[in-house]
A and B are shown apart, each in its own frame.
Chain A
């Protein structure tokens, strides 16, 4: 193992530090550089998608059409969803994996550094292409991020072809990223780092990577079918030619449901790192956490039709998908229980990363409960396609996935930059986000239950009050994210020196490295006892 690791560092021209100029970023094969690129890209996309969300909320502040036309409104909801899912959340997790996985398992770099560079640099092109559709004739895709056929085939704007190729490129990028993570974790662990000693962030990413490999090709398949229906006269989703639009939904959600877990499993990993650090206790039930992630991943392949309860499934199908979906609450409950048990009788302190982690546990659980409500097939006929669904998935994605990414950034920034974060500003950011997120999304439960449909630019008068409240919350949340940008930049430029261990209760290989982490770390593998 020692000799092979030496050879893996054969790129000796990089051995003493980063190259200078723009070339460093274009040609880099260093996992830390690529991790930073991913994280910056994701932040840029987060702000782009967030701006679109604010446009949506501004239009919905009052009933009636004020700011934008319905056609443009539909393009905004579509692009907001696509950019946040594929541009903000997924690249942020890949960026964190790039930075942290090698440092956590005692590896010198990712297993396939050149492919790593490639998988990042595809992304800016994919998103440039997708965002450019906003300026095309007929406008950007307007069929929602789920792009149901025939809205996305027969009735799609001409720019749909660019959308399809952008999805192909994102898929290729994700698959390469996933292959890299798996190869790193399986082949580059330091001696003594057995599978059941892996930090949970690494475990959660290993399973996520397998999910990516299983479902991103299915997404590529479904957009390819769309492409063929649109341009080559096939009839996969065209009933007149013997196809079936419902088939689209089945194939899409076969990808789509595991995708949901792709966006939350790494978050589980992050939270499982942060809570033990600030509770100053070992994680409660490590093995059960690993098995819980594994069972959630397997179950995620068996529940896709709970997104389609109203398409006319037979009773047996409704029942199967209802119970299978509810089954997922069991391993998820195990995880929440373990986090709470870790904190129980711990010596807790509430630094910024811990605050985000705690908010994650509470608010993600609320999102999980509304998910359980949606899982009840007979009730879902009432909730389907209403703002209740919007409230549900924003609760699991914003205070779920996004808060975990914020927590991770605050938690590891001292390791990355060598400077402590400004706690005061971090806490202000947290409280504004926490209050903002709840003001935005909690009222959506009520308007949804009262029957307000999603994806509409105008609505009936009785929904006006809750909508204006939600819009105010959205602007509080949106603008307070500028504080996050400020905090990150301040932390990079200076601040109190961080110790190697950074946090008093931190455990793990990454905390044995100096802060900031050197450009090349673990060139000699550490020995894990």
Chain B
């Protein structure tokens, strides 16, 4: 191979490697985005799940925690918080619940996706147990109360007096692992 041929070959291989690298970078943006959101608390993504060390509550102040339940487009369930707002001391463990009812005739599987506002507060809201950790399956006409157990971190900045925990409920019946048989049924029955 001539000298020019070798030069071309070397350059092309390098440029192709660059392409492969950038293709990988495109996919790397997915976890990077996630990590970025978690570190900064952007997007209201909550990562503080599972058990936390029980500490004494900071009774010198209290914060208002509001709850919102929203159905995603096309989701027919009744879905709402039992308490729209509670007042807690930072460090105090508190339980509340959301009500859900499947008004259709068939079994449906739902997944709740949480979000916290303001985004700055997201990392200070610890969920010890939450119905959003698992998908929820309800037979037709069945209803349920789904608990949330949470603690507001004592390190919550002073200027945050109110925070909002919002859940959006998605219908994942056709996609759920045990929902294969259901997928062939009518996707959306009328209310």
Contacts and interface: CB of A to CB of B under 8 A. Distances in A.
Question: Do A and B share a complex?
Answer: yes
Interface of A: 1, 3-5, 7-8, 111-112, 175, 178-179, 182-183, 186-188, 213-222, 225, 233, 236, 239-242, 244, 246-247, 250-251, 254-255, 312, 314, 317
Given A7-B2, A8-B4, A241-B172, A314 B26 contact: no
Q: Which 8 A-B pairs have the closest CB atoms?
A: A221-B26, A240-B170, A4-B4, A217-B23, A217-B22, A218-B26, A179-B15, A7-B2
Nearest to A240: B170
Contact of A179 (B5, B12, B170): B12
A251 B29 contact: yes
A217 B26 contact: yes
Contacts of B3: 4
Interface string B29-48: 11001000000101100000
Given A112-B12, A218-B26, A239-B168, A187 B7 contact: yes
A317 B16 CA distance: 33
Contact of B11 (A183, A216, A240, A242): A183
A186 B9 CA distance: 12
A219 B25 CA distance: 11
B111 interface: yes
Given A7-B4, A222-B26, A247-B30, A187 B11 contact: yes
Given A7-B4, A187-B7, A254-B26, 18 more contacts: A4-B3, A7-B2, A111-B8, A112-B12, A178-B15, A182-B11, A182-B15, A213-B22, A217-B26, A236-B30, A239-B168, A240-B72, A240-B170, A240-B175, A247-B29, A254-B29, A312-B43, A314-B42
A317 B12 CA distance: 37
B149 interface: no
Contact of B27 (A8, A186, A225, A244): A225
A182 B18 CA distance: 13
Nearest to B110: A240
A234 to B, nearest CB: 10
Contacts of B160: none
A187 B4 contact: yes
A229 to B, nearest CB: 11
Contacts of A312: 43
Nearest to B15: A179
Contacts of B43: 244, 246, 312
A213 B15 contact: yes
A319 to B, nearest CB: 14
26 contacts: A5-B4, A7-B4, A112-B8, A175-B19, A183-B12, A187-B7, A187-B8, A187-B11, A213-B18, A214-B22, A215-B22, A216-B22, A217-B20, A217-B23, A217-B25, A217-B26, A218-B29, A220-B23, A222-B26, A239-B72, A239-B170, A244-B33, A246-B43, A247-B29, A247-B33, A254-B26
A250 B8 contact: no
Interface in B37-67: 40, 42-43
A241 B175 contact: yes
Interface residues of B, number: 34
Interface in B157-191: 168, 170-172, 175
Nearest to B23: A217
B121 to A, nearest CB: 13
B25 A218 contact: yes
B113 interface: yes
Contacts of A213: 15, 18-19, 22
Secondary structure of the A contact surface, majority rule: helix
Contacts of B88: none
A179 to B, nearest CB: 5
B25 to A, nearest CB: 7
A241 B132 CA distance: 12
Contacts of B172: 240-241
B68 interface: no
A195 to B, nearest CB: 15
A219 to B, nearest CB: 8
Contacts of A111: 8
A146 B107 CA distance: 37
A236 B33 CA distance: 11
B113 A240 contact: yes
A487 B69 CA distance: 64
Contact of A233 (B4, B7, B33, B175): B175
Contacts of B40: 314
Contacts of A187: 4, 7-8, 11
A3 B3 CA distance: 10
A314 B45 CA distance: 13
B10 to A, nearest CB: 10
A390 to B, nearest CB: 27
Nearest to B118: A314
Nearest to B117: A312
Contacts of A5: 4
B119 interface: yes
A244 B32 CA distance: 13
A250 B22 contact: no
Nearest to B111: A240
A183 B8 contact: yes
Nearest to B120: A314
A314 B113 CA distance: 21
A112 to B, nearest CB: 7
